[in-house]
Amino acid sequence: MSELFDIYKRGGGNQALTINKPYNVDIHLTQHGSNWFWSAFCVFIALAMVAMALMFRKPANERLFYYTAIAPVLFMAINYFTLASNLGWVPIKVKYNHAKTASEHGHHGTRQVFYSRYIGWFLSFPWPIIQASLLGNTPLWQIAFNIGITETYVVVMLFAAMVHTTYKWGYFSLAVSAGFVACISVMTTTRNLVKNAGSNVMLCFQIYFFIVMFLWSGYPISFGLSEGGNVMQPDSEGIFYGILDVLLFGVLPVLFIPVASSIGFDKLGLNHTVNRHGQDPESSIPKQPAAVPVKPSPPKDVEDSPARPSEQQRSKKVKKVKKVKRPVQRPSDEEESSAEKANVPSQEGTPESSGEY
């Protein structure tokens, strides 16, 4: 607290380099560079406040474009607060002795390299890719691939900045190749999908991603003149990177909001994505319960008639006992002849046969 009171008594001003001094480093940031970083920080904070103020006026399912703009702006605001405070850096011995300082005495000095800048890029670089992918309703796995390649670019560039030998250019080449792959992926897969949305969406996509690629191409150039080749001083490096960052991660994402909103979720095919719980828009509308059919009342004659058996009783099956008819056995010829003889009286027993009257 006493240090804050001291700053207030001295009339304020930028005291970042007084409090956080650059120690054990020859080529480092000055107060002019810190002032520029504070200015960029204010620009990012202002853009974030405007975007968030407009976002809260929209329904929750119409804020997708705002999220893609606010995220990189806030990440870069935190990054530039760190840069302006002269924090988040390490001294790296330079390979080329182009930029010199008075503290060097016939040897290659050390240069201040801000690793916090690469952390900010790691969090912010995917968002322009995501915004371009939304214009074509790109599948999630394709967006994930593009994000992974973009993050590879940032991480490998950090490796190149941390290496003080010529091997840094090997990492630099790998990083540039990853950037080319990401751009080619967007310009082929996503561009083919944008064709289905119409000519006006295609025009917006081409203009937007052309600006993204143009600004992206400036980062390898700045690296070659600063951390790579040690040509520019850290103040000039900060101005070069700062202009690119403000345009790519500040102005462009915020301008994407009105452009994409004017096209609409329907035309971009994002209704299913932004709808609550990921349901289909038609299925999310609450359906009225089906009307229960009313049974007609029975006529009077049916009511007066005696009670009919219930459905349960009628449904019962009456078991009937089937009578088994046994086949009648007919007598054989011998039995029939013997039965006839038994029924016919013999001639000897009759009065006619005996002659007795």
pLDDT at 273: 57
Average pLDDT, rounded, for the chain: 81
Q: Which range has the worst mean pLDDT, 255-259, 281-285, 291-295?
A: 281-285
**Is the dihedral angle over the CA atoms 67, 53, 211, 32 positive or is it negative?**
negative
Say which residue the tokens 């937007």 belong to: 208
- Tens of pLDDT, residues 129-166: 999 999 888 899 999 999 999 999 999 999 999 999 99
Token pair recorded at residue 331: 């007598």
Q: What local confidence, expressed as pLDDT, does residue 23 receive?
A: 87
What confidence score (pLDDT) does residue 183 get? Answer: 95
Q: Which of 351, 331, 121, 99 is nearest to 226 (CA)?
A: 99
As a whole number of angstroms, the distance between CA 255 and CA 264 comes to: 15
Higher pLDDT, 39 or 321: 39
| Residue 183: Cβ within 10 Å count | 20
Cβ proximity of 100 and 158 under 8 Å: no
CA atoms of 5 and 141, how far apart (whole Å) = 53
CATH fold of 2-275 reads Rhopdopsin 7-helix transmembrane proteins (1.20.1070)
* Position 199 confidence tier, pLDDT thresholds 50, 70, 90: confident
For residue 106, what pLDDT is reported?
Answer: 56
Q: What are the distances in angstroms from CA 140 to CA 39, 132, 137, 143, 190? A: 36, 13, 9, 5, 11
**At 186, is the pLDDT very low, low, confident or very high (cuts 50, 70, 90)?**
very high
Q: What is the sign, positive or negative, of the torsion defined by CA atoms of 129, 249, 119, 44?
A: negative
Cα–Cα nearest to 72, from 309, 252, 296: 252
Query: How does DSSP classify residue 60?
Result: G
Helices (H), the chain: 2-9, 16-19, 31-55, 64-84, 115-124, 126-134, 140-162, 168-185, 191-194, 199-216, 218-223, 234-246, 252-263, 265-268, 271-274, 281-284, 300-304, 311-315, 333-343, 351-354
Q: Quick one: which of 42, 216, 59, 203 has its CA closest to 127?
A: 216
With cut-offs at 50, 70 and 90, classify the pLDDT of residue 113: very high
Name beta bridge partners: 114: 89
**pLDDT given for residue 253 in this prediction:** 95
Question: Higher-confidence residue: 227 or 323?
Answer: 227
Per-residue pLDDT at 299 exceeds 80:
no
Asked if 127 and 249 touch (Cβ cutoff 8 Å), the reply is: yes
Whether the pLDDT of residue 268 is over 90: the answer is: no
Q: What pLDDT is stored for residue 341 in this prediction?
A: 55
Beta-bridge mates of residue 91:
112
- Alpha carbon 130 to chain centroid, angstroms: 9
pLDDT at residue number 136? 86
Residues forming beta bridges with residue 111, ordered by sequence position: 27, 92
- pLDDT at site 207: 94
Say what angle helices 64-84 and 234-246 make with each other, to 10 degrees. Answer: 170
Asked whether the predicted pLDDT for residue 325 surpasses 90, the reply is no
Which pLDDT belongs to residue 61?
A: 83
Q: What is the pLDDT of residues 79-110, one digit of tens each?
A: 999 999 999 999 999 888 776 665 555 567 88
* Tokens 């289909």 belong to residue: 280
Mean per-residue pLDDT, 204-230: 94
pLDDT at 313: 54
Q: What is the DSSP string of 29-40?
A: --HHHHHHHHHH
Q: Nearest 5 degrees, angle CA 133-CA 139-CA 144?
A: 75
**Among 126-130, 157-161, 302-306, whose mean pLDDT is lowest?**
302-306
Of 3-12, 62-71, 308-317, which one has max mean pLDDT?
A: 62-71
Please state, for a pLDDT cut of 70, what percent of the chain lies above it: 69
Quick: pLDDT tens for 327-356: 555 655 655 566 555 555 544 444 444 444
| pLDDT bracket for residue 249 (50, 70, 90) | very high
Please identify which residue in the block is written with the tokens 């509308």: 285
Cβ contacts of residue 206 below 8 Å, gap of 6+? 191
Strand intervals (E) in the chain: 89-93, 110-114
Cα-flanking dihedrals φ and ψ of residue 121, to 5°? -65, -35
Structure tokens at 101: 């300082």
Please give the model's pTM, rounded to 2 decimal places: 0.72
Spell out the residues 6+ positions from residue 28 whose beta carbon is closer than 8 angstroms to its own. Answer: 22, 111, 112, 234
C-alpha 105: how far from its chain's center?
A: 54
